[in-house]
């Protein structure tokens, strides 16, 4: 891809064209970041205004001592990991399915990608009220009809419930990306494999899956960025509970900041979230940069 | 029936079962929006019911629905326009006058997307409080414009790259300045690309929930917040909630369906062709 090929052309001062975008993004990034770090080193609680001043690393020490932080971190990893696994597996299967030629495949594709466009608060409420409600929900009716005891989804398996909802929202994204990748697969290569007597399964393992490798990396990286800060789904369904069962890092910081007014503690949590996200970001930017050069 | 036909039939069956299952929650919500409240909460699901429009009427009557919808429109379109104003010149410069720094700048822009919003929630909240931007349209317009700016620059950059250089060259020969070149040649030529970029930005802003839940309360709250406010009253308003939700997602669903191809490109930053 000759995305960055340079050509000889007349010199144009591009600074006035690029500077505004770069400038506002720089401000948007630097100021809150510096403030977050600064607050994280302060005693700063909005309901205890008398105690102010430099706290050093106290907020971090206090936070790292708090078992809730570790629970939130583990919950974040469980949520991200499970959703990634589910979406990649189902995304691959659905993409292979939609890559077949069948009646109405175009319309079927539209239906399968639809959940991605539904705002998270709406999808969380549909699942919470209409499907997973322990008495009036559709799932309760199904289990009742089968003579099984009803499942109180958000009380019995809260994390699983959130995972199901989030996975439902992100499967379409994985499907779309992987489908696009599949469509770029060389027909001749498939034909050659078929001539050599490859069945559908060996075709999948030896031709399709390797071809999808890079796209699966892209799916994982991009989903991770969004999944690390899942908020609305938890806000609407469980509010992080019962107990801390579905409190992820984003929700943990939200509670600290806007419900407990502990600016210092919340900022320290924010810094930890930023560090976590950056570990992921390094890999993502690298893989995108590689794609640019290819 | 020949094997290929039977294969096609099986695939069609499988494909439509999967499509039905994935789409089912949305379909169910859509159906519920035409039920009476009593039918909606009945533990036994009924597919055959007397459809009613009373929920839509009820949602309309509650004047707030339109205020929230209006807020969503103002914020998502406002932020998109603002971001485009910043992004078009930048993408133009980077696509047609690339320098040593261009590649690094683009990647750096992308990296700002990695900053988790929750990490900077506190300072942004406090800055907004001091600037009286909390619960204001302008506040969310600014936040969403900044949030989507990197994606918009990337997408426009990709689209501009596809415009034949010769056409711009011809304009340049006729003495067009870069500004004129941008305004009279490039923008008219790239209307489809700019439109799909804008569409993606509107979709992302429309559905954004983190900032809108945390930075607004009433006056500027968009539909995401309106819908979230239904989360507390259990069981009572499912039909009305479904009607409101249907109205909240319908325009974006249609937008999304129309622009699905370009959307993939935007979201992968061009990494998957």
pLDDT digits (tens, 9 = 90+) for B96-124: 888 888 888 887 887 777 777 877 888 88
Interchain contact B43–A (C-beta under 8 A): yes
Q: What is the CATH number that goes with domain B58-267? A: 1.10.3720.10
Task: Evaluate if residue B268 carries a pLDDT over 70.
Answer: no
Task: Evaluate if residue B252 carries a pLDDT over 90.
Answer: no
Say which of B11, B149, B231 has its CB closest to residue A125. B231
Domain ranges of chain B: 3-54, 58-267
Query: b/e map of A90-121 (b: 16 or more CB within 10 Å)?
Result: bbbbbbbbbbeebeebeebbebbbbbbbbbbb
Domain assignment present for residue A111? The answer is yes
B257/chain A closest Cα distance in angstroms: 6
pLDDT of residue A86: 96
Q: Do B149 and A257 touch (CB under 8 A)?
A: no
Cα A210 to the chain's mean position, in Å? 24
For the segment B180-203, the average pLDDT, to the nearest whole number, is 84
Task: Evaluate if residue B25 carries a pLDDT over 50.
Answer: yes
pLDDT per position as a tens digit, A101-124: 888 888 888 899 899 889 888 898
Task: Evaluate if residue A257 carries a pLDDT over 80.
Answer: no
Least confident of A91-100, A254-263, A267-276, B122-131: A254-263
Beta strands in chain A, from DSSP E residues, in sequence order: 42-44, 52-54
* Preferred mutation among A6, A32, A214, A284 to probe B, highest tally of B CBs within 10 A: A32
Task: Residue A210: give the domain boundaries.
Answer: 68-293
Q: Under a CB-based contact definition with an 8 Å cutoff, are residues A267 and A59 in contact?
A: yes
Cα–Cα distance, B135 to B130 (Å, whole number): 12
pLDDT-derived band at A7, boundaries 50, 70, 90: very low
For the segment A24-28, the average pLDDT, to the nearest whole number, is 89
Chain B hits for A273, Cβ within 8 Å:
116, 118-119
pLDDT of residue A48: 74
What pTM value is reported for the model? Answer: 0.83
Chain A hits for B87, Cβ within 8 Å:
21
pLDDT-derived band at B227, boundaries 50, 70, 90: confident
pLDDT of residue A294: 42
Cα–Cα distance, B230 to A236 (Å, whole number): 9
pLDDT per position as a tens digit, B49-73: 777 787 887 777 765 778 888 899 9
Domain assignment present for residue A76? The answer is yes
pLDDT of residue A164: 94
Domain assignment present for residue A3? The answer is no
For the segment B251-272, the average pLDDT, to the nearest whole number, is 74
pLDDT of residue B1: 57
Least confident of A201-205, B42-46, B153-157, B257-261: B42-46
Classify A54 as helix, strand or coil.
strand
Cis peptide before A57 (omega within 30 of 0): no
Q: Under a CB-based contact definition with an 8 Å cutoff, are residues B25 and A123 in contact?
A: yes
Task: Evaluate if residue B75 carries a pLDDT over 90.
Answer: yes
pLDDT per position as a tens digit, A59-86: 788 888 888 888 988 998 899 999 999 9
Token pair, residue A98, equals 């939609």
Q: Do A218 and B109 touch (CB under 8 A)?
A: no
Domain assignment present for residue A186? The answer is yes
pLDDT-derived band at A291, boundaries 50, 70, 90: low
Domain assignment present for residue A81? The answer is yes
Which residue in A has a C-alpha nearest to residue B144's C-alpha?
A28
Q: Under a CB-based contact definition with an 8 Å cutoff, are residues B23 and A124 in contact?
A: no
Rounded (10°) CA dihedral B180, B181, B183, B184: 100
A58/chain B closest Cα distance in angstroms: 18
B61/chain A closest Cα distance in angstroms: 21
Chain A hits for B22, Cβ within 8 Å:
94, 111-112, 114-115, 168, 171-172
* Preferred mutation among B268, B269, B273 to probe A, highest tally of A CBs within 10 A: B268
Which of the two residues, B19 and B96, has the higher pLDDT score? B19
Number of domains forming the structure of chain A: 1
For the segment A235-252, the average pLDDT, to the nearest whole number, is 83
pLDDT of residue B181: 81
What CATH number should be reported for the domain holding residue A98? 1.10.3720.10
Which residue in B has a C-alpha nearest to residue A8's C-alpha?
B97
């Amino acid at each position: 891809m000759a995305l960055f090929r340079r050509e000889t052309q007349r010199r144009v001062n591009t600074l006035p064209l690029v500077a505004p975008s770069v400038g506002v993004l720089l401000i948007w990034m630097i100021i809150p970041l510096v403030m977050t770090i600064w607050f994280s080193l302060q005693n700063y609680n909005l309901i205890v205004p008398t105690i102010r001043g430099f706290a050093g690393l106290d907020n971090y020490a206090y936070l790292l001592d708090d078992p809730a932080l570790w629970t939130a971190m583990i919950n974040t990893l469980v949520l991200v990991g499970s959703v990634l696994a589910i979406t990649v597996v189902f995304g691959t299967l659905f993409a292979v399915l939609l890559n077949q030629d069948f009646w109405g495949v175009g319309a079927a594709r539209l239906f399968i990608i639809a959940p991605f466009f539904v705002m998270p608060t709406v999808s969380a409420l549909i699942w919470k009220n209409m499907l997973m409600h322990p008495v009036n929900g559709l799932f309760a009716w199904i289990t009742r009809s089968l003579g099984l005891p009803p499942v109180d989804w958000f009380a019995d398996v809260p994390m699983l419930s959130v995972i199901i909802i989030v996975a439902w929202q992100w499967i379409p994204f994985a499907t779309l990306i992987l489908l696009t990748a599949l469509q770029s697969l060389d027909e001749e290569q498939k034909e050659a494999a078929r001539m050599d007597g490859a069945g559908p399964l060996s075709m999948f393992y030896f031709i399709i899956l390797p071809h999808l490798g890079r796209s699966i990396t892209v799916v994982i990286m991009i989903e991770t960025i969004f999944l690390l800060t899942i908020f609305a789904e938890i806000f609407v369904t469980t509010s992080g509970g019962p107990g801390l069962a579905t409190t992820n890092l984003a929700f943990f910081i939200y509670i600290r900041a806007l419900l407990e007014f502990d600016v210092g503690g919340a900022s320290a949590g924010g810094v930890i979230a930023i560090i976590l996200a950056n570990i992921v970001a390094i890999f993502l930017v690298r893989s995108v940069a590689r794609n640019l050069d290819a | 029936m020949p094997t290929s036909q039977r294969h096609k039939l099986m695939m069609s069956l499988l494909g439509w079962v999967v499509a039905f299952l994935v789409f089912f929650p949305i379909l169910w919500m859509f159906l519920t929006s035409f039920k009476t409240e009593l039918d909606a909460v009945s533990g036994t699901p009924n597919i055959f019911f007397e459809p009613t429009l009373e929920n839509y009427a009820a949602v309309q009557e509650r004047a707030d629905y339109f205020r929230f919808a209006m807020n969503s429109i103002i914020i998502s379109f406002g932020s998109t326009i603002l971001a485009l104003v910043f992004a078009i010149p930048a993408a133009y410069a980077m696509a047609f006058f690339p320098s040593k720094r261009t590649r690094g700048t683009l990647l750096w822009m992308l990296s700002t997307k990695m900053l988790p919003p929750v990490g900077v929630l506190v300072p942004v909240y406090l800055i907004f409080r001091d600037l009286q931007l909390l619960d204001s349209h302008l506040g969310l317009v600014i936040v969403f414009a900044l949030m989507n700016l990197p994606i918009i620059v990337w997408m426009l950059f990709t689209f501009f790259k596809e415009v034949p250089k010769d056409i711009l060259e011809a304009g340049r020969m006729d003495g067009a300045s870069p500004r004129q070149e941008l305004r009279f040649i490039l923008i008219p030529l790239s209307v489809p690309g700019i439109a799909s970029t804008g569409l993606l930005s509107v979709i992302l802003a429309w559905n954004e929930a983190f900032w809108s839940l945390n930075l607004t309360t009433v006056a500027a709250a968009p539909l995401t917040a309106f819908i979230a406010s239904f989360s507390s009253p259990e069981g009572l308003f499912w039909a009305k909630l479904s009607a409101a939700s249907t109205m909240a997602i319908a325009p974006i669903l249609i937008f999304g369906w129309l622009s699905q191809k370009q959307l993939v490109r935007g979201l992968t930053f061009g990494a998957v062709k």
